[in-house]
């Protein structure tokens, strides 16, 4: 009986859950900043999810206007997607360059990211302008309202990202790879990659699923 108790005790906590690991104290600034920015990104994704939900609810409400399959051009969307995915890669290159304090590769990576982002925005702007010119603006139907808002909200984020990107380049130019500049660069990279992830959602839900209706 006593023996079983001993054995039981030895095996009761195989993963050391009962062992209290002392908290080491406040985390370093780099961790705190990145963590906070992650939390922000999660909240941003919640906001996008509302626009996704609105699109899901309203995508059939065409009010006699065009359906998704009649207005989406898969070729353009494919080019947009390639631009954004490539820009995530170049943004990653710029991040690595920043970490090793290499100005040339940093500027090059950021510049290419910027150009790809601008191409993406130009294609999106064209798509919007073309739809509005054909009378299929956001006031045409609830479906188009939700389409313009969801895709436009992502576009606004990319525009803000480009503005941030240019500011980052100017900061590195003026201040060099200071600790606070590097922290901001890390946040920017997180932001840019998050936009990519959201675009994957937009691409799938809006253009693939919505385009098949």
Residues that bind another protein (CB under 8 A): 20-27, 31-33, 35-36, 39-40, 42-44, 46-47, 50-51, 53-54, 57-58, 61-63, 138-143, 145-146, 148-149, 163, 167, 171, 174-175, 180, 184
Q: How far is the CB of 146 from another protein (least distance, A)?
A: 7
* Cα distance between residue 92 and residue 118, in whole Å: 17
Contact 114, 170 (CB under 8 A): no
Question: Could you tell me which of 37, 31, 36, 28 has the C-alpha nearest to residue 192?
Answer: 37
End-to-end CA, the chain:
70
CB of 53 to another protein, least distance (A): 8
**Between 120 and 143, whose beta carbon lies closer to another protein?**
143
Q: Closest separation between CB of residue 124 and another protein, Å?
A: 17
Give the CA distances from residue 34 to residues 45, 127, 147, 184, 191, in Å, rounded to whole numbers and listed in that order: 16, 35, 32, 9, 11
Residue carrying the six token digits 């139907």: 141
Please identify, using beta-carbon distances, which residue of 69 and 167 lies nearer to another protein: 167
Question: Closer to another protein at the Cβ: 36 or 135?
Answer: 36
Q: How far is the CB of 213 from another protein (least distance, A)?
A: 14
Non-local (6+) Cβ contacts of 11 within 8 A are: none
Q: Which residue has the tokens 């992830």?
A: 197
- Nearest to another protein of 33, 102 (CB atom): 33
Minimum CB separation of residue 55 from another protein in Å reads 11
What residues contact 99, with CB distance under 8 A and at least 6 apart? 182
Task: Using alpha carbons, list the distances in angstroms from residue 90 to 47, 51, 67, 143.
Answer: 27, 28, 36, 35
Nearer to another protein, 14 or 25 (CB): 25
- By beta-carbon proximity to another protein, the closer residue of 14 and 18 is 18
Closest distance between another protein and the C-beta of residue 143, in Å?
7
């Amino acid at each position: 009986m006593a023996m079983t108790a001993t054995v039981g005790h030895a095996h009761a906590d195989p993963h050391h859950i009962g062992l209290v690991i002392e908290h080491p104290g406040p985390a370093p600034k780099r961790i705190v900043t990145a963590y906070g920015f992650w939390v922000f990104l999660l909240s941003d994704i919640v906001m996008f999810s509302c626009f996704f939900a609105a699109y899901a609810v309203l995508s059939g409400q065409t009010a006699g206007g065009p359906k998704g399959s009649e207005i989406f051009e898969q070729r353009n969307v494919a080019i947009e997607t390639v631009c954004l995915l490539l820009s995530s890669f170049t943004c990653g290159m710029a991040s690595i360059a920043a970490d090793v304090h290499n100005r040339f590769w940093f500027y090059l990576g950021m510049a290419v990211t910027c150009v790809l982002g601008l191409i993406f925005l130009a294609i999106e702007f064209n798509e919007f302008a073309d739809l509005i010119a054909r009378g299929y603006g956001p006031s045409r139907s609830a479906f188009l309202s939700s389409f313009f808002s969801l895709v436009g909200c992502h576009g606004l984020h990319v525009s803000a990202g480009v503005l941030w990107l240019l500011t980052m380049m100017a900061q590195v130019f003026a201040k060099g790879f200071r600790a606070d500049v590097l922290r901001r660069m890390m946040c920017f990279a997180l932001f840019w990659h998050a936009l990519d992830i959201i675009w994957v959602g937009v691409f799938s839900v809006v253009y693939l699923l919505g385009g098949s209706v």
